[in-house]
Amino acid sequence: MSIEVVMPQMGESVVEGTVTKWLVKEGDRVREDQPLCEISTDKVDTEIPSPGTGLIAKLIAAEGETLPVGAPLAVIEAAAAGAAAAAPAGVRPQPKAAPALPPAPGKAAGAGAPSPARPQQPPALRAVRSEPRPQAAAAHAAAQASAAGPAADAVAASPGTARAGGGEAAGGARAHRRYSPVVMRMAEEHGIDLGRVPGSGIGGRVSKRDVLAYLDALQAGQVRPPGAAGGATKGANGQEATQAASAAAVAQPSQTAARPGAPPAALPVGLPGGAGYRPPVYQPREGDVVEPFTRRRKLIAEHMVYSKTHSPHVGTLAEVDLTRVTRLRNKHKDAFAAQEGFALTLLPLAAAATVRALKEFPRMNASVVGDSLIVRHQINLGIAMDTEEGLLVPVIKAAEGMSVTGLAREIERLRRKIADKKIAADDLAGGSFTLTNPGREGNLFGFAIINQPQVGILRMGEIKKRPVVVEVDGEDTLAIRTMMYLALSYDHRVIDGVLGNSFLYRAARILEEADFEL
């Protein structure tokens, strides 16, 4: 009997993963639960354990290949069998060219023919796969649903609600984006970028009919061919994407496809009209060390470029007197440490102030999706954390209902998960606003880049005692106070100055007043 190893479902919003490294090769004998390969998703890196004991018959996925959830990665010939070697009587072979077709179960002939039925879910993977193997229709729907957020996929190192535009793509599989011969030929004949053609086939596959429909739309002027926007970046015109229900072009056109009517979450990466500057050609010098981007670094880079390119950042700075809140912390820190087992820092207090200010200004707790601002009811506060492999932003879900202690526990829990390398994709998804604290050596202040598609990010600056002028009994006097600069970056596409300023002002005052229960 052969066991198929598939791309596991690693989190609700994860639709694909990249095989970064095979740890076994064809012909190797493997035990159940032995790691087979390393998988990297836009959220987490993990190893895939072997679903059974046997011989690696075939490695289907290549290193570096990105495949949808449920896609076959390898085939293990289970120890006992040998049945699959000779196609048993009465078995309809699965068409190899059609991986998206669901296997026809129970096609084994009755007359004592050995059953070749391959397990749809290897037992070892059942625990991590919350969704069934995508059936044709589900895969189709999910591929369409996920399509609204291709750029978000590409950029999301910590994408929060990136996929909101197309609905949650749980369990969905994006098409392999292999094209049939006729589709390839027609694309060449008509000069079509197939990444722009919405697919209606199984798993979002682009069929001949889809190409014909696209050509019709092109002719009817409902879609514009790439490059028609007068040298502007592909698809920079959001109108195109909505009108044509065509894929919004992104850096990876092979990942695009859009649902008709869905707001185009994906806008192109790349500077509009920025064809001019090219960095100088690299000249190697002795001692240079070349560090190729890791996958996470690449995702962070794309996310940052996307954010800076699409969202006009405004920076605003507030001075915060932390004397009172520091006193509050100092008063409770021993009892807190004794009770909770970890130290009380200023971070949960700043988080509590942020949440309270967000409640007062709900429009700051929002996402930009296409041409819409989506105001989020639930406050999911992302807390930026530094890790060995780079920046991660775990998310405190439903922070609006949490006390300072609750927030502190949640931050500690996420911190530990990162330290233990157990952070899950779902821990990193769904953020609606972000707070970042670069810590002791974070310098005076700085403006962070907005974590898309959110609309603002708060950055804590250096905490330092300074002489400040205070009023005591109507008299101005110098006093030594614990001070910090709190910097807000907000997206001027959707947040105007009055709102941005008011929000920051309130966040700073709430933190100063230190009216927190502990």
Partner 1 sequence: MEATYLKAINQALHEEMRRDDNVFVMGEDVGELGGAFKVTEGLLDAFGEDRVIDTPISEALIVGAGIGAAILGMRPVLEMQFGDFISCAFDQIVNTAATLRYRHGGKASCPLVVRAPSGAGVHGALFHSQNPEAWFTRVPGLKVVAPATPYDAKGLLKSAVRDNNPVIYFEHKRLYRSVKEDLPEGDFTVPIGPAELRLEGRDLSIITYGGTMHQALDAARIVEKEDGLKVEVLDLRTLLPLDREAILATARKTGKVLIAHEDRLTGGIGGEVAAIIAEHAFDYLDGPIRRVAALDTHVAFSPPLEEYILPNTNKIVEAIRELAAY
One of 25, 80, 105, 111 touching partner 1 (CB under 8 A):
111
Alpha-carbon dihedral 206, 212, 214, 220, rounded to 10 degrees:
-170
**Nearest distance from residue 11's CB to partner 1, in Å?**
28
Indicate the residue among 98 and 479 with the shorter CB distance to partner 1.
98
Write the binding mask 308 to 327 for partner 1: x where contact by CB under 8 A, - elsewhere.
Answer: --------------------
Q: Which of 3, 6, 2 is nearest to 129 (CA)?
A: 6
Indicate the residue among 143 and 418 with the shorter CB distance to partner 1.
143
Write the binding mask 173 to 192 for partner 1: x where contact by CB under 8 A, - elsewhere.
Answer: -------xxxxxx-------
Write the binding mask 202 to 231 for partner 1: x where contact by CB under 8 A, - elsewhere.
Answer: x--x-xxx----------------------
Report residue 150 as tokens: 């291709």
DSSP letter string, 284-334: --TT----PPPHHHHHHHHHHHHHHHHS-EEEEEEEEE-HHHHHHHHHHHH
Report residue 516 as tokens: 């927190």
**Nearest distance from residue 207's CB to partner 1, in Å?**
6
**Nearest distance from residue 210's CB to partner 1, in Å?**
10
131 vs 511: CA distance, rounded Å = 43
**Nearest distance from residue 182's CB to partner 1, in Å?**
5
Report residue 192 as tokens: 């079509």
* CA 385 to chain CA mean position, Å: 16
One of 85, 98, 127, 444 touching partner 1 (CB under 8 A):
98
DSSP letter string, 137-164: HHHHHHHHHHHT-HHHHHH-SS-BTGGG
Indicate the residue among 205 and 376 with the shorter CB distance to partner 1.
205
How would you classify the pairing of strands 72-78 and 2-6? antiparallel
Active site (annotated) includes residue 515:
no
One of 62, 85, 101, 444 touching partner 1 (CB under 8 A):
101
Q: Count the site residues for partner 1 by CB under 8 A.
A: 29
**Nearest distance from residue 209's CB to partner 1, in Å?**
8
60 vs 78: CA distance, rounded Å = 17
* Among 199-207, 263-271, 293-301, 483-491, the segment contacting partner 1 (CB under 8 A): 199-207
* Among 14-22, 96-104, 292-300, 463-471, the segment contacting partner 1 (CB under 8 A): 96-104
| Residue type at position 96 | K
Q: How many helices (H) and strands (E) are present in the chain, helices listed first?
A: 12, 17
**Residues 6+ away with beta carbon under 8 Å from 436:** 383, 384, 448, 457, 458, 459, 460
Q: Which helix (H) or strand (E) holds 45?
A: strand 45-49
One of 74, 100, 169, 266 touching partner 1 (CB under 8 A):
100
**Nearest distance from residue 384's CB to partner 1, in Å?**
44
Indicate the residue among 183 and 486 with the shorter CB distance to partner 1.
183
Q: Which of 334, 386, 496, 515 is catalytic?
A: 496
Any idea what DSSP says for residue 506?
Answer: H
Active site (annotated) includes residue 496:
yes
Tell me the chain's radius of gyration from C-alpha atoms: 27
One of 10, 37, 91, 351 touching partner 1 (CB under 8 A):
91
Residues 450-509 that bind partner 1 (CB under 8 A): none
Residues 51-90 that bind partner 1 (CB under 8 A): 87, 89-90
Q: Which of 176, 313, 332, 492 is catalytic?
A: 492
Residues 135-164 that bind partner 1 (CB under 8 A): 136, 140
**Residues 6+ away with beta carbon under 8 Å from 282:** none
- Active site (catalytic) residues: 492, 496
Q: By CB under 8 A, name the binding residues for partner 1.
A: 87, 89-92, 95-98, 100-101, 109-111, 113, 136, 140, 180-185, 201-202, 205, 207-209
